[in-house]
Amino acid sequence: MKPEKKGFFAKLKEGLSKTKKNLTEQIENIVFQHKKIDEDFLDELEEILITSDMGVETTLDIIEYIKGEVKKNKIEDTTEIKNIIKQYLINMLKKHEKNEDNIKQQRVILVVGVNGVGKTTSIGKIAYRLKSSGNKVIVAAADTFRAAAVEQLKEWCNRADVDIIASEQGSDPGSVIFDAIHASKARNSDVLICDTAGRLHNKKNLMNELSKIFKILDREFSEAKIDVYLVIDATTGQNGIIQAKLFRETCDINGLILTKLDGTAKGGIAFPIVNELQIPIKYIGVGEQIDDLQNFDAENFVNAIFE
């Protein structure tokens, strides 16, 4: 008998189980220990949130929100706290969400991120998702410096059944993007996904490379809608925010892809990244399979952690 395929939410919940254990169980413990919402309770809650990768800024925002809700609604019972935190987080994430269902023009998704975060894998999975929902997709393998990056991407594109424009290792990334743009126009693709080099240790080179790619896109494909998505490995925790800030100095990021959530208790990093950088999460990775990259949904994400 064939095993039943897990539902969307069940997979998400399972993927976030370590984060749930890290965050929710600690909150439940102090709720059990305290019967009223006082300064001692809030101090303990603050410590839990900060150590659960919420970051200082987001934690202080949550504590202020709790104080406001407690005062406004005359809440005394600590068992109400989880719902208040949940509501704050859902509202905060939703505030930055952008609906892109009705885009009629051709699209370019430029994917950036340091080596090792799951960038190439994510591109293959996004290509699969977009193709499965009826889009004609082309992928440009412009990370021409990392050994085996092109071969790895070819394999993913083969699995996703999408076209790939590639050149040999060490060739000019700009020329790959140029060729991919003209292939997209000729084949009338809906989405062109571009892989890019992920060498952050030499920021000047990275900036020059990305700047060149943007110039080519602007000159050759000005009619397309261009998005820049940054891939962040959730297991790096607070380091993910540092990476995001560095990349934002080089390009205008308007979407995040959070990978490896199933292997970490640091999934709480999603909240400060969105809160501090005000960039929406577009996709989250909760497994190794080609269909394990999911569209980000604020309510589902928060519910999976707090249920």
- Report how far apart, in Å, the C-alpha atoms of 172 and of each of 48, 144, 150 are: 48, 7, 13
Beta pairing, strands 225-233 & 191-195: unpaired
Of 119, 123, 133, which is closest to residue 190 (Cα–Cα)? 133
Contact in structure between 203 and 220 (CB atoms under 8 Å): no
Helix (H) or strand (E) holding 268: none
Q: How many domains does the chain have?
A: 1
> Does some domain include residue 225?
yes
3-class SS at 255?
strand
**Distance of alpha carbon 272 from alpha carbon 43, whole angstroms:** 19
pLDDT in tens, 171-199: 888 999 999 999 999 999 999 999 987 76
> What are the contacts of 241-244 at 24+ separation with CB within 8 A?
241/55, 241/269, 241/272, 241/273, 241/276, 241/277, 243/113, 243/114, 243/200, 244/273, 244/277, 244/279
> Does some domain include residue 62?
no
**Distance of alpha carbon 115 from alpha carbon 210, whole angstroms:** 15
pLDDT in tens, 82-124: 999 999 999 999 988 876 656 678 999 999 988 888 899 999 9
Looking up residue 237, the CATH number of its domain turns out to be 3.40.50.300
> Does some domain include residue 292?
no
Q: Which residues does 20 contact at the CB level (< 8 Å), separation at least 6?
A: 13, 304, 305, 306, 307
Least confident span in 75-79, 205-209, 238-242, 250-254: 205-209
Domain that holds residue 147: 107-253
pLDDT band at 200 (very low <50, low <70, confident <90, very high): low
> Does some domain include residue 201?
yes
Rounded percentage of the chain residues whose pLDDT exceeds 70: 94
> Does some domain include residue 214?
yes
> Does some domain include residue 169?
yes
Least confident span in 100-114, 196-210, 232-246: 196-210
pLDDT, residue 199, reads 63
> Does some domain include residue 259?
no
